[in-house]
Structure 1
Amino acid sequence: MIKEAYITRISKFLPHDPISNDELESVLGYVNDQPSKSRAIVLRNNGIKTRYYAVKDGVFTHNNVQLTCEAINKLVDQQEIQKVDLLACGTSSPDQMMPSHALMVHGELRHAPSFEVVSQAGNCCSSIHGLKYAFNSVRVGDAKKAVVTGSESFARKMQASNFVEEVQKLKELEENPYIAFEKDFLRWMLSDGSAAVLVEDHPNEEGLSLRIDSIDMCSYAQKYDTCMYMGGDKDENGNFKGYLEFSNQELIEKSIFSVKQDVKLLRPNIVAQGFEKLTEICERYAIGADDIDWFLPHMSSEFFRKPIQEALIKYNLPIPQERWFTNLTKVGNVGAASAFLMLEELLNKNMLKKGERILVAVPESSRFTYAFVLLTVV
């Protein structure tokens, strides 16, 4: 018997006080002891006003595992975690390659019992992959209570010491904001934080829950080359090479472990491809723009708001802006945690009403993957 699955609780952990745009370089450092020539342009395009870093007075205070555990400990106490059947964790920025992120999180939860643990690798969609795993596990009865997390730890990777001097193409940046997603420019895009959701086979007896109606994902990796990457690089012919194919010296010289973006691929594909897929999903479930009360698009930058709106109109899903909700400008782009952070604010600030329907859209540029979640407030 297939059961229903519900998000009954959401927590978040955003380390320390919010960092304003004027404070960024004091936290991340100056490349070659010079202020960034591109920072102001990038910030103008991405619209982020404040974000969070796991850094306090120049000292790193949390790694990814610790950020994740903070959110979990706010979600379930030591008594309730004894009833958890499943832990699924998604992140773009694990602290290590082995063991998996979720196993390291479980290891840090000393008061937790033994239960199923799943790590979802990838980028922004990784937490939604974890949510779908929990969704299906609860539906078929493999789990009654599942914890799903999304987290990122980028401050260490964005430190000035990790970047080599690069030519700042200011004129090109002004004319083409997609340039803002190349290597050094990503320093002003990504931030730290975590969020956790509790998925159960019944709704809350008191207060609101979010019934998970559907989770649909689609990859277009067979059509497009690698777009956003870390731990590899592209050669002169555009072929992607993983870090094992580089010498130790090249790993440093080419900044192989910096986060990079191929903006030539990003520009024509990131919005259009995914929202074309959304049309098929809406047709399958017989829903239209009028059926969506809240539209939560994960945007790495406010720059994408207009292209997303144009794509929705093009594909006959013209959800008006007054039904959109994001908190990018306040919390920054927290990658795998971003979708959960939007839901957390809606649910915990009593912005929802029973019967409302929520559509969450998460585009991932690494190899063009898209996730769409449909929820009903109950």
Structure 2
Amino acid sequence: MLKEVYITRASKFLPNQSVSNDEMESILGKINQTPSKARRIVLRNNGIQSRYYALDNQGKVTHSNAELTFLAISDLLDTDFSAQDIEVLSCGTSTPDHLLPSHAAMVHGLLKNKSVELNSSSGVCNSGMNALKFGYLSVLSGNSNNAVCTGSERVSTWMLADRFEKEIENLNELEEQPIIAFKKDFLRWMLSDGAAAFLLQNKPNSEALSLKIEWMDAYSYAHEIEACMYAGGDKLEDGSIKPWSDYKTEEWLSQSVFSIKQDVKLLDKYILTKGVESMKAALDKHQVTANEIDYFLPHISSNFFKNGLQEQLAEAGIVLEDEKWFMNLFKVGNVGSASIYLMLEELFNSGKLQKGQKILLSVPESGRFSYSYAYLTVC
């Protein structure tokens, strides 16, 4: 017999002080000692006003990804539910500290609690939702009584200027324009660090609100579309990605193989259309109408997409008025897999929710265009 699953606690950890738009380049550094030409254009379009980095003002690392996640989990815990009570630890991230061991194993190592079941979800933004779904299914099936699920990113170190200096040197030697391609520079002004965590249990809170997970659905279009956002390789003319392990070691630096890249033409062509297609499929499958949704929490990488998404959803018969949208992109930035956790954590702890309200979570991933949804009831 299937159990019911409730999000009973939500917490977050955002490192250091918030970083304004004017402070970003002083922390990340200037490539070739030259201010970025893309920075102001990207920031004007994405609407982000502040974000957080696991770096100090001199660009030195202050936290690992595992530490960010551990600190977010720590805020979930108290005498009523301690680290010793955790049965499943499910962690999603795009930017693990290591290739091996897994991200969840490293977080578990910091918890120092007891033996638990681990799950590490990789990918891009959907890695956080996939981690949530693993925990959800574990509790739903009766495999466990609870699960701690997380989304986290520490991407700032991937965007430091010195990561691109060797590529600039080679461009100078070739007498080419020493400017990093827009597909790399673009993301330096989009992404930021942070972590958040949910506690899932098979019983709701007795004295406080909980969020019952009614269903979760996911869709991938990798069978139709080539990669759009990628790292640890580079795209070839046929659309395939040559992996980092097939490059010579000197090419890892000379071609910035490990930098995060995004094909903005593919992003513009597919991110909204496939998002609307998948969301309509999910709502139709579960017979949910827009009128039943009280809060819509979309992970949008840039405010640039907000109006377009709203208009295309309306054309598909999904009319979601402005007052239903809940976003915090402008103040916490695009934190990838953690973004949906950070949105729901803020709403959950805001005091705004009332029993019976419905919440729809929506997470697109431009890696190779995949989408995740969760439908929640406040109870």
Look up the match of 1:186.
187
Mapped to 1, the partners of 2:296 and 2:14 lie a distance apart of 23
Look up the match of 1:340.
341
Look up the match of 2:71.
70
Mapped to 1, the partners of 2:33 and 2:347 lie a distance apart of 41
Look up the match of 1:32.
32
- Show CA shifts across 1:309-328 (max 9, x none): 12211211011111101000
Look up the match of 2:94.
92
**Cα offset, 1:52, TM superposition:** 0.2
Look up the match of 2:43.
43
Look up the match of 1:207.
208
Q: 1:45 corresponds to which letter in structure 2?
A: N
Mapped to 1, the partners of 2:47 and 2:359 lie a distance apart of 24
**Cα offset, 1:196, TM superposition:** 0.3
Look up the match of 1:106.
108
Look up the match of 1:233.
234
Mapped to 2, the partners of 1:311 and 1:4 lie a distance apart of 34
- Show CA shifts across 1:292-342 (max 9, x none): 000000001001101211221121101111110100000000000000100
- Over aligned residue pairs, what C-alpha RMSD do you find? 1.6
**Cα offset, 1:271, TM superposition:** 1.1
Look up the match of 2:142.
141
**Cα offset, 1:168, TM superposition:** 9.2
Mapped to 2, the partners of 1:348 and 1:259 lie a distance apart of 33
User: Match of 1:212, SS?
Assistant: strand
Look up the match of 1:301.
302
Look up the match of 1:129.
130
Mapped to 1, the partners of 2:259 and 2:294 lie a distance apart of 39
Mapped to 2, the partners of 1:134 and 1:335 lie a distance apart of 19
Mapped to 1, the partners of 2:194 and 2:201 lie a distance apart of 24
Look up the match of 1:173.
none
Look up the match of 2:10.
10
Q: 1:94 corresponds to which letter in structure 2?
A: P
TM-score, L = length of structure 1: 0.94
Q: Is the 8 A contact 2:48 2:329 kept in 1?
A: yes
Mapped to 2, the partners of 1:84 and 1:248 lie a distance apart of 42
Q: 1:358 corresponds to which letter in structure 2?
A: I
**Cα offset, 1:354, TM superposition:** 0.8
Mapped to 2, the partners of 1:3 and 1:108 lie a distance apart of 30
Look up the match of 2:288.
287
Mapped to 2, the partners of 1:283 and 1:21 lie a distance apart of 41
Mapped to 2, the partners of 1:188 and 1:12 lie a distance apart of 22
Q: Is the 8 A contact 2:126 2:371 kept in 1?
A: yes
Q: Is the 8 A contact 1:38 1:168 kept in 2?
A: no
**Cα offset, 1:346, TM superposition:** 0.5
Mapped to 1, the partners of 2:247 and 2:296 lie a distance apart of 43
Q: Is the 8 A contact 2:17 2:52 kept in 1?
A: yes
User: Match of 2:158, SS?
Assistant: coil
Q: Is the 8 A contact 2:211 2:376 kept in 1?
A: yes
TM-score, L = length of structure 2: 0.94
Mapped to 2, the partners of 1:307 and 1:67 lie a distance apart of 33
Compared CA separation, residues 225 and 207, structure 1 to 2 (3 A): same
Matches within 5 A, 1:304-343: 304-343=305-344
User: Match of 1:127, SS?
Assistant: helix
**Cα offset, 1:264, TM superposition:** 2.3
Look up the match of 2:252.
251
Report sequence identity in percent: 49
Q: 2:369 corresponds to which letter in structure 1?
A: F
Q: 2:27 corresponds to which letter in structure 1?
A: V
User: Match of 1:32, SS?
Assistant: helix
**Cα offset, 1:269, TM superposition:** 0.6
Mean CA deviation greater in 54-63 or 367-376: 54-63
Q: 2:190 corresponds to which letter in structure 1?
A: M
User: Match of 2:156, SS?
Assistant: coil
Unaligned runs of 5+ in 1: 170-178
Look up the match of 1:174.
none
Mapped to 2, the partners of 1:236 and 1:122 lie a distance apart of 23
Mapped to 1, the partners of 2:341 and 2:265 lie a distance apart of 29
Mean CA deviation greater in 50-59 or 288-297: 50-59
User: Match of 2:277, SS?
Assistant: helix
Mapped to 1, the partners of 2:236 and 2:215 lie a distance apart of 40
Look up the match of 1:151.
152
Q: Is the 8 A contact 1:18 1:50 kept in 2?
A: yes
Look up the match of 2:224.
223
- Show CA shifts across 1:159-188 (max 9, x none): 01112448699xxxxxxxxx96x2111000
Unaligned runs of 5+ in 2: 172-176
